[in-house]
A and B are shown apart, each in its own frame.
Chain A
Amino acid sequence: MSSLFQGATGDWEVVIGLEIHAQVISESKLFSGASTKFGAEPNTQVSFVCAAMPGMLPVINEECVRQAVRTGLAMGCQINLRSVFDRKNYFYADLPQGYQISQFKDPIVGEGMLTVELEDGSTKDIGIERLHLEQDAGKSMHDQHPNMTYVDLNRSGVALMEIVSKPDMRSAEEAGAYFRKIRSLVRYAGTCDGNMDQGSMRADVNVSVRRPGQELGIRTETKNVNSIRYMMMVIESETRRQVDVLEAGGTINQETRLFEVATGTTRTMRSKEEAHDYRYFPDPDLLPLEFTQELVDELAAQMPELADAKKARFIKDLHINAYNAGVLVAEKESADYFETLLSATVEKSGKAVSEVGTLVSNWVTGDLFGALKKLGLGINQSPVSIAHAAELITLQIDGTISGRIAKEVFENMLESGKSPETIVEEKGLRQVSDTGEIEAMIDQILAANADKVEEYRGGKDKLYGFFVGQVMKNTGGKANPQVVNKLLRQKLDG
């Protein structure tokens, strides 16, 4: 797929690299025992270490190390058994130590390669440069006082994984697909919750443009972009801006930029000349981080099933079509919901997974997702319980109700919260499968519409639907559609 940008003077190629900051799921911070829980009152989750009190020392949280290794394994990257924590020195009010503990030369995770799927069904390989562990800073609040800035240190010292891609992306779409892929991997691996609105994942977006086949252009870095949509807007606006500058004969400044939501564009934050000299050096308070291959192997053996593997299994073992499988695994919660509902349905109906897989996947991706979207709810907020959903699908499987009635029952469940069996009983929605009863009704209908029967037999095939409709109407939709079909064909065609 060509992703070249058409400028006024010809085609341009966009080169994109991402640095994704993903907050590690852990009870406590990277180097202190303070809690990492989101949403607490300001400065209530701050230890002496997080506040950089004199004489305080960092001690590594081993769970954060395991999480970084798990993430590296999920991304198929090289795991480095020895890595080093460095200090990145700069002054800011929300950086109590005056430096951030990060990893510079020797990160915990090295190179790897991810394959992402694009909308047109093609795939693209995107290289990963590294993943390193680092501390988050605190939060400066400039809107609390007319001429003072308040600082909340709850985030100070929280563990982040910085995942650095190679400059392998060539369009906003590819960058979006790559980000979604990383988000899915960390969520499946249980190493980051991926909640972008809470700042758990954000990206620094590096963009440059060049004529196809030429040397890399000068890049800009747009900091702290906290949604995939914004990231794609950054890439598009930065591409346009850079092409405009270059086509007007100008040059691109290597600089750090900020995204402004209001305008959907970026603006200069600081130029190369104003860039910090971080004076990285190994943190003398911490020994090099060393662990054994056995630990890596153990974590690898305990890794949960990731999205790609799950999708493949859904297709192969459950006979679900690729589209549905893709939709289900896109979010871990959807896949989890689906699998829970599937086992409940198997148990309730007594059927094999391969027999009910398609029906359950259709119901989840169609009926349930449609209803949740209308209600503006997430999968974990579904008003219908797994037990009721399994019951509803089982009623369909055992022929008690038709698919069409099932939709009606589901609507009713959403409103009343009643069990599907209760609704079917109360409303008398049980499907009529009695051949004699249906046959008698068909005879009646054919007799009453003899003219239409003639027309049909004369070649007006479309009238078939009319007869089906009449039968359904007379049974209030409860007639078993298969039985109706079979009998009608016999009577009309036979």
Chain B
Amino acid sequence: MSDLTKLTLSAARDGLHKGDFSAREITQAHLKAIDEAKILNSYIEVTSDQALEMADNADAMIKGNEAKPMTGIPIGIKDLYCTKGVHSQAASHILDGFKPEYESTVTSNLWNDGAVMLGKTNMDEFAMGSSNENSFYGPVKNPWRATNSDKDTVPGGSSGGSAAAVAADISIAATGTDTGGSIRQPASFCGLVGLKPTYGRCSRFGMIAFASSLDQAGPLTKTVRDAAIMLESMAGYDAKDSTSINIAVPNYEAALSGDVRGLKVGIPKEYRVDNMPPEIEKLWQQGIDWLKSAGAEIIDISLPHTKYALPTYYIVAPAECSSNLARYDGVKYGLRVAGDSLDNMYKNTRAQGFGDEVKRRILIGTYVLSAGYYDAYYLKAQRVRTLIAGDFKAAYEKCDVILTPTAPSAAFGLGEKVSDPLAMYLNDVFTVPASLSGLPGISVPAGLSSDGLPLGLQLIGQAFGEEQLLNAADVLETAAGFSDKPAKWWGA
């Protein structure tokens, strides 16, 4: 039997449905591969027993002709999702020992469809970071290394564990969450497809909150088709999330017609940022050419407030985070570090429980919401956010989707930017505008950098325009024909 870990999600589905192999077999193959890839540190917790039990249930579903597309597919779950009775700590020390008594809606949807949980994947603590170096459980290593180099690179973040796991073939696909680029940027760094759906498409219930108005669940997969299949299972209205939107979930895979003739693709001039590496500029041009050759119409557009997106994001997201993370106070669950008064217990617990980046954002967020600063920062940022959303609204009068690079660079070296938070924040420059506007975005692997690291292109769609977005991404993927895999340096 060929290596079951090399399969795409759609191929695995077809094989499972045809009976070429069982869910138990494909799950076992992945558990073995996980065991051999410990050095990547992509999983925080591997749930082997539960995985096999779920696989057996999936096999029963397949036998009973109740199989759904996700049935029997072994996947990794970002540690930000609450999974009942299983490690769910957002990779933070402050949630030590926390095992929820409930299941997030997105993971419930996946389990109801018969998907199999391999374990919880590593991430930047509370989803704050762009390199997965901010985890209490240590950094994740990107399976990709530069040509002829043995230096570790970062997988991107915050969904770095999920991305590394899929890239290393130790999960068929994985869930991520994206607040400012946390699915798309790691997808770009790891040669994967990463989809952030429209805000409100997937329920946030049971997802540990970072910035509530931006957080959105999405898949990290090997192909666009895989992303379409997985999103369909994850998405849906949920009465338990007041910001989830009651729109029926379409069959996304059926939207992949391979035909983009007449599709209007917008190219925003403001995304030609200073100091962008020429190879990214070149890749972007190549993407334009590919879509043009496929029959799409290329339209120059302007998103004039783009340059304000990053500062706006780094006000709004920390503001919400400073409030969302107030509940981690040592009183109810997780870490408690004793103190001689309530206030000192708070101080000790939060000082030891949170990492530097989380503390930095709590401080920024507390500052921008403070009396006397609120109007100048938070309120102004909300107004700019409205303008940024307005840019997209105006652009979509002229075009259907927008093509940009995903990130301003390929994966950088482990430890290279840890001491420079501002350089780190610049990673989100292309992904943050769509996040602030609640729009769907997808990163598609499009080529390799000069030193052999993957680069992605981003397509941004209209609100609830995932069908059109996935179809365009599918065409882009086909044209790019990206089939490289990281050279295996880990394992036995």
Contact = CB atoms under 8 A, between A and B. Distances in A.
Contacts of B88: 54-55
A55 B238 CA distance: 14
Contact of A279 (B207, B212, B370): B370
Contacts of A92: 342
A60 interface: yes
B323 A87 contact: yes
B204 A57 contact: yes
B400 to A, nearest CB: 28
A285 interface: yes
Given A149-B342, A284-B213, A55 B239 contact: no
A218 interface: no
B90 interface: yes
Nearest to B319: A281
Interface string A72-100: 00000000000000010101110011110
Nearest to B372: A277
Given A55-B100, A149-B342, A281-B319, A286 B242 contact: yes
Interface stretch (B65-73, B269-277, B302-310, B328-336): B328-336
B242 A89 contact: no
B242 A287 contact: yes
B128 interface: no
Interface stretch (A45-53, A255-263, A340-348): A45-53
B51 to A, nearest CB: 22
B209 interface: yes
Nearest to A48: B102
Nearest to A88: B323
A59 B327 contact: no
A54 B208 contact: yes
Given A59-B242, A60-B242, A54 B329 contact: no
B20 interface: no
A371 interface: no
B211 interface: yes
A58 interface: yes
A60 B240 CA distance: 10
A54 B209 CA distance: 7
B20 to A, nearest CB: 37
Contacts of A98: 323, 325-327, 329
Given A89-B326, A277-B371, A51 B366 contact: no
B176 to A, nearest CB: 16
Interface string A90-134: 011100111100000000000000000000000000000000000
Contacts of A96: 327, 331-332
Contact of B240 (A59, A89, A91, A280): A59
Contacts of B371: 277, 279
A277 B369 CA distance: 9
A279 B242 CA distance: 23
A54 B242 contact: no
Q: Is the interface of A mostly helix, strand, loop or mixed?
A: loop
Given A54-B90, A55-B206, A91-B346, A285 B326 contact: no
Given A279-B369, A279-B370, A99 B332 contact: no
Given A59-B239, A284-B213, A277 B100 contact: no
A54 B80 CA distance: 9
Interface in A157-179: none
A151 interface: yes
For B104, B213, B329, B343, the residue with the greatest tally of chain A CB atoms inside 10 Å of its CB is B329
Contacts of B204: 55, 57
B412 interface: no
Contacts of B322: 89, 279
B253 to A, nearest CB: 29
Interface string A16-56: 00000000000000000000000000000000100111111
For B100, B211, B331, the residue with the greatest tally of chain A CB atoms inside 10 Å of its CB is B331
Interface string B295-328: 0000000000000000000000001101101110
B420 interface: no
B368 to A, nearest CB: 9
A284 B333 CA distance: 24
A279 B333 contact: no
Contact of B98 (A54, A151, A287): A54
A56 B209 CA distance: 9
A97 B212 CA distance: 14
A93 B329 CA distance: 8
B465 to A, nearest CB: 21
Given A98-B327, A277-B370, A277-B371, A58 B378 contact: no
A97 B326 CA distance: 7
A151 B366 CA distance: 26
B464 interface: no
For B95, B343, B369, the residue with the greatest tally of chain A CB atoms inside 10 Å of its CB is B369
A279 B90 CA distance: 25
Contacts of B95: 54
A284 B240 contact: no
A285 B212 contact: yes
B54 to A, nearest CB: 21
Given A277-B370, A281-B378, A284-B212, A53 B205 contact: no
Nearest to A286: B242
Given A57-B204, A151-B331, A287-B242, A89 B101 contact: no
A279 B323 contact: yes
For B88, B327, B332, the residue with the greatest tally of chain A CB atoms inside 10 Å of its CB is B327
Interface in B333-352: 333, 342-343, 346
A51 B328 CA distance: 12
A99 B378 contact: no
Contacts of B331: 93, 96, 151
Contacts of B102: 48, 53, 55
B73 to A, nearest CB: 23
B436 to A, nearest CB: 13
B374 interface: yes
A139 to B, nearest CB: 14
Nearest to B82: A55
A277 B374 CA distance: 11
B451 interface: no
B327 A97 contact: yes
A270 to B, nearest CB: 13
Interface string A282-295: 00111100000000
A53 B89 CA distance: 12
B356 interface: no
Contacts of A277: 370-371
Interface in B79-95: 81-82, 88, 90, 95
Given A96-B331, A285-B243, A287-B242, A48 B101 contact: yes
11 contacts: A52-B327, A53-B332, A53-B333, A54-B82, A54-B95, A54-B98, A59-B241, A96-B332, A98-B326, A151-B331, A277-B371
Given A60-B242, A93-B329, A96-B327, 14 more contacts: A52-B327, A53-B332, A55-B102, A56-B206, A89-B369, A98-B323, A98-B325, A149-B342, A279-B322, A279-B370, A281-B323, A284-B243, A285-B242, A286-B243
Interface of B: 81-82, 88, 90, 95, 98, 100-102, 104, 204-209, 211-213, 239-243, 319-320, 322-323, 325-327, 329, 331-333, 342-343, 346, 366, 369-371, 374, 378
Question: Which 6 pairs from chain A and chain B are nearest by CB?
Answer: A98-B326, A279-B369, A284-B212, A284-B213, A52-B327, A55-B206
